[in-house]
Chains A and B, each alone.
Chain A
Amino acid sequence: MSDNLIHTLSSLGDSETMSADVARLHDRLVERASATGSLDLGYRVVDSPVGRLLLAATDDGLARLAFESEDHDAVLDSLATRIGSRILRDDKRFDELAHELDDYFTGRRRTFDVPVDLRLAHGFRLEVLRHLRDIPYGHTESYGQVAASTGRATAVRAVGSACATNPVPIVVPCHRVVRSDGSLGGYLGGLAVKRRLLDLESAA
């Protein structure tokens, strides 16, 4: 009988209602933490036609959008090191961005209005990202053109790295940068995703 008692103690409560209770308390924790500015980042995972997307934001705005192929857990670990580890999943946040993404993928939206926090990018890469936001929907520029318009015509490779390390793809449209011969170049989410985004934009 002892071991019955010890076992009951180690698994007190019905596991299903326990996890529902923890989920409810988790939501309350997120609310209190956000209200008191105790979070470095909140995140949520949403479904999209290009796979599940991780969205992570600071109080200032969207700091990271990650494709499934990047491994969301690895991305969160890296955000914890680079921005701060006070990170909680927040399923109530990002409704507006989720909505904008839906509209974008169905061709009803051409630009994103949510605030973006580019604190993960620095120096020339940051400059490139700022320029990318000016490439209009449905248009492309070559890596060389981007380099020229940031005033460093020879920095073609650096433009490539800026695109490859873009913390907020789709929203900052690095997919609109292609090779001067018209081939795709690279993409963080894989070339099939880049192709898909460009096709979507040219069809609209």
Chain B
Amino acid sequence: MKRPFEQAVTEHGTVVLRVCRAVLGVEEADDAWSETFLSALRAWADLPDDADVRGWLITIAHRKAIDVARARSRRAAPVDRLPEQLAPPSDRPDLALPDDALWSALAALPDKQRQCVAYHHVAGLPHTEVAAIVGGTPAAARRACADGIARLRLTYASKEVSSHV
């Protein structure tokens, strides 16, 4: 790629952070973001000029998120801590989000559904690209995404409705 790498950070930094948060939770998203952009920077010169930069970054972020999640599961018993980790850390009030319920609803999805929802709805990638990232067919990616959304509607959207009544 012949363009300055700074442009990739300016144009896609926010969406990659959203995706990392949706997939990993707020606390671990920073590490995945950092690893993603450092690795992208090193490979930048070899990326073809007509490449889809956002899709390429999300592909790297997907792998880095898996690394971060693996490191977490090596560190501690994950199951009962997971929802807590996905909530904003209490010592970072600036990370407190209005849509806590959505974060926990996302966290409760099976991995593949959460990834497909993040890459399609948060990053805006088409199902074919999502399939190339998570593996399997585009139809399976579309289904996982739809299942994920249906489940989010049950958990998050119902809470949202009730909390605004």
How far apart are the CA atoms of A20 and B34 in the complex, in Å? 15
Q: Which bracket fits the contact residues of B?
A: 35 or more
Q: Hey, what's the 0/1 contact readout for A51-83 against B, CB within 8 Å counting as 1?
A: 000000000000000000000000011011100
Q: How far is the CB of B95 from chain A (nearest CB, A)?
A: 7
Q: Is the CB of A10 within 8 A of B9?
A: no
A203 at the interface (CB under 8 A from B): no
When A5-B153, A10-B124 are in contact, do A29 and B45 touch as well, CB less than 8 Å?
no
Interface segment out of the listed B10-18, B50-58, B64-72, B127-135: B10-18
Please tell me if the beta carbons of B21 and A13 are within 8 angstroms of each other in the complex. Answer: yes
Chain A 2-60 residues near chain B, CB threshold 8 A: 2, 4-6, 8-10, 12-15, 17-22, 25-26, 28-29, 32-33, 36, 38-39, 43
| Most interface-central of B21, B44, B98, B152 (chain A CB within 10 A) | B44
Interface size on A, residues (CB 8 A): 39
B9 touches A79 (CB 8 A): no
Does A86 sit within 8 A of B, measured CB to CB? Answer: yes
Least CB distance, A7 to chain B, in whole angstroms: 9
For A29, give the chain B residue with the smallest CB separation: B37
Contact status A21-B153, CB under 8 Å:
no
Query: CA–CA, A99 to B10, complex, Å?
Result: 28
Which residues of B (149-165) have their CB < 8 Å from a CB of A? 149, 152-153, 156-157, 160-161
Interface residues of A (CB under 8 A from B): 1-2, 4-6, 8-10, 12-15, 17-22, 25-26, 28-29, 32-33, 36, 38-39, 43, 76-77, 79-81, 84-89
Interface residues of B, Cβ cutoff 8 Å to A: 1-6, 9, 13-14, 17-18, 21-22, 30, 33-34, 37-38, 41-42, 44-45, 94-95, 97-99, 102, 117, 121-122, 124, 149, 152-153, 156-157, 160-161
